[in-house]
Each structure stands twice: as C-alpha cells, then as structure tokens.
Structure 1
C-alpha cells in the first residue's frame, strides 16, 4: 500500500531527520510505502491546488491530510480554511482513495511566542481559533466517516506519561513526540484495516 502525506510541517516533520519522522517510523513498522509531499509553511489553498500532483499523480492508494496551522497563525479567515479543507477532502473521496486520514493539529504552547511563531498578544486568540477548527475537523471527519489522528490528544497523553513537554518550540513535536504520534498512527491504521476486512 502506498500512502501519500500532504499538509504542513506537522506532516513533513522538517525539524527532525527522516528516520525520526513519525510517518517513516510507522512505515517501518507496517511496511507501507510513503510519498510525503507536505512542506513547512504550506497553506490549505496551496495543498488543495496541488492535490492531483501530490497524490493522484503519485498513484497513492490512500492519503493523510493535515493542514491549517499556518493559515490560522497568519490570521486567514477560518471560513476560507474550512472551504479549502472540505475541497481537499472532496477531491480525496472523488478520487476513490482509501483510506483517507484526517490529522487534527495541536494547540500551540506559550513557547511558540518565544520562538517567533506568533506574538504573545495573539497566543490565546490563535488557540481559540484552533479549538474551533479542531472541532469542525472532528465533525467533518464524523460526517464523512473518516478516521482522525489527533495530535493534541496524543501529545498531551504522552506528556502525562513521560512527565515533560513533547514540543520542541511550542509548535512542532520533539523526536520523542513524533514517536508517540507514530505509535498512534500505527494503531489507527491497524484499526482501519481491521474494519475494512
């Protein structure tokens, strides 16, 4: 099985080496082929526009989609983000891809303001928009009956288990954080395959 991964740096994992990316860890555990066309800074409109090139032309069987963090940090209207994402999900479904996974971005941590990802004065505002966006993604996934990988849930539970932060800069996970995400994705993939069998 070939899986395409599209979206932003939460998918491309630009802050770690390839062997530490969560999708590479998961592919080694389950033997699927990876095509990762995600990129740091990618916006939902760009992802939507490049869908055929990044997924269909790659002859992928399924796709993992996670994007929107950059749009929100740039204060793009949430209505536009939702429109772009819904359009991307539509394309995936019309192409007949199976499985289609939806990634829910995490909330930002205060350290993200120290690293220059957002102003301290905008931290709470952006997280409120992210909360609304995450809820919409959950509802959209439920409506379309698509499995979700919730970064916030996985990382929060991981932090409780290890007793320290799993964020490198308040936005991107550490290598240890990516390992938790990889385990969660493997579990989600196994569950999805079992349900399809």
Structure 2
C-alpha cells in the first residue's frame, strides 16, 4: 500500500473532489456546486411532495400513468382533460430539469405513486449549450442522457411499471428567441435515433413527438410554437393525439 493509499490501494488525495488543495485553490464554480448540493433540493423533490401525499391518500384508480419530464411536459398542464373517462394521467414535469434531476426524484414522483405506466420525455436541457456553440454539447449530452434514461427505466421496470419513451421535440428560431443557438437541431435528431433504438431494444413504447411537430427541414413548425422551444396549444394537441392513440393510454 502506498503512503497515500487506503486499505483498498486507492489514493484518496487523487480522487477527492478537492484533493489536497487549499481553499484558495478551489474555484468559485466548484465551491458553488458543492454548496448548492449541500443546502438545496437540487432535484426539486419538494415541488410535488404535497400533491403526491394527497394522491397516495386517495383510492387508487383502475389505471394510473405518470408523465415525467421537463418543461415540455410541465407546460402541457392538466393532462386529465385528455382522458376524462380513461386512465389517470399525472403530470410530473419540472421546468429546466436535466435527466439527472429526474433520476434523483423518480422514487418520489413516480415509484411512490405506484403507477401502471410511465411516459418519460427528457433531454431538452441536457443538450442545451450554455458555453460555446450549440453542437458543443453533443456527445457528452448523449452519454449523459443515455446513462440516466437507462437508469430510470431500469428502476421503473423493477417495480413492474410499463415504460414508454417520448422523443425530444424539435426547436426553431423566433425573432426574440433564437433557439438553435443553444440547441443543435442535428444533435436532437441524433438523440432521437438513439432513444428510438433504445426503446425498441428494451421493448418499450415510443412516442415520436418530433415527427408530429417538425417540418421537412427538421425544425419545429412555426405554427406549433410561440417561443421556438415549447409547443403551443396547437402543438400540444398534436402530441395529445399521439398519446391518445398509443397503447400506454389504452392499457396495452
């Protein structure tokens, strides 16, 4: 064993997040990240906590479906209007979330509600580039999305929950919202190819929201969005038609 190694032979100084550096050597970004992790609910688990508690206290419906996602799901609003006499549809989308945050809250917002099925639509914020051009978030985002989605679906399947994957939705530019500066349309298409192949391999359902909303150029049709990123009522109607036709809402 080395002088710095522990009983497993690992040099803890080399793998510790801060190593042996002094406080002065720690960057502001590193400190901020660790401080937020220490004091904050980074996954926003508390967001739906009271609603989840109330749901668990009510008689369980014949069929319950949870839609987990980011703002694309959250802004869809009250999903029950899509199925007033059908399965209970529960919206568990949160604005701005990445797949890792959904993974952290899946126990509370999905598993704890004991649904029959889950529809997972995620990735829009993972592929967003905050620094550099839109394509710079490509490969790292694909690996991160793939790892987190695989983990979430494994957890769901272990609890007997039927899985459906929703594709990432397209983007387009608006005069005051140049979305393609931050999200590369080509990377979104590549990610959707992976998502579809993953769903097919795992024998999950797949909802191709992208094709329902995109034009021939691969961008969101202008009529289906007001900000270039989120569907507007007409866009959500196209998504709803696809969801209603799918086996997930039909009990298949």
TM-score (norm 1): 0.80
Distance in 1 of aligned mates of 2:243 and 2:89? 13
Q: CA RMSD in A?
A: 2.3
Summarize the Cα distance change of 1:190–1:82 in structure 2 as closer, same or farther, 3 Å threshold: closer
Higher helix proportion (structure 1 or 2): 1
Which structure has the bigger radius of gyration?
2
Distance in 1 of aligned mates of 2:222 and 2:198? 32
Partner of 1:115: 177
Offset, 1:25: 3.5
Tell me whether 1:92 sits opposite 2:156 in the alignment: yes
Highest relative contact order (Cα 8 Å, sep 6+), 1 or 2?
1
Tell me whether 1:106 sits opposite 2:169 in the alignment: yes
Unaligned runs of 5+ in 1: 158-162
Offset, 1:155: 1.8
Q: Residues 86-132 of structure 1: CA distance to partner in whole angstroms, max 9, x if unpaired?
A: 1111111111102x111001221122x7326563xx55xx2121111
Which residue of 173, 186, 190 maps to 1:128? Answer: 186
Unaligned runs of 5+ in 2: 1-62, 130-136, 216-220
Determine helix, strand or coil for the equivalent of 2:126: helix
Partner of 2:87: 32
Comparing 134-143 and 73-82, the one that deviates more: 73-82
Determine helix, strand or coil for the equivalent of 2:110: helix
Q: Is the 8 A contact 1:73 1:118 kept in 2?
A: no
Distance in 2 of aligned mates of 1:43 and 1:106? 15
Tell me whether 1:48 sits opposite 2:88 in the alignment: no
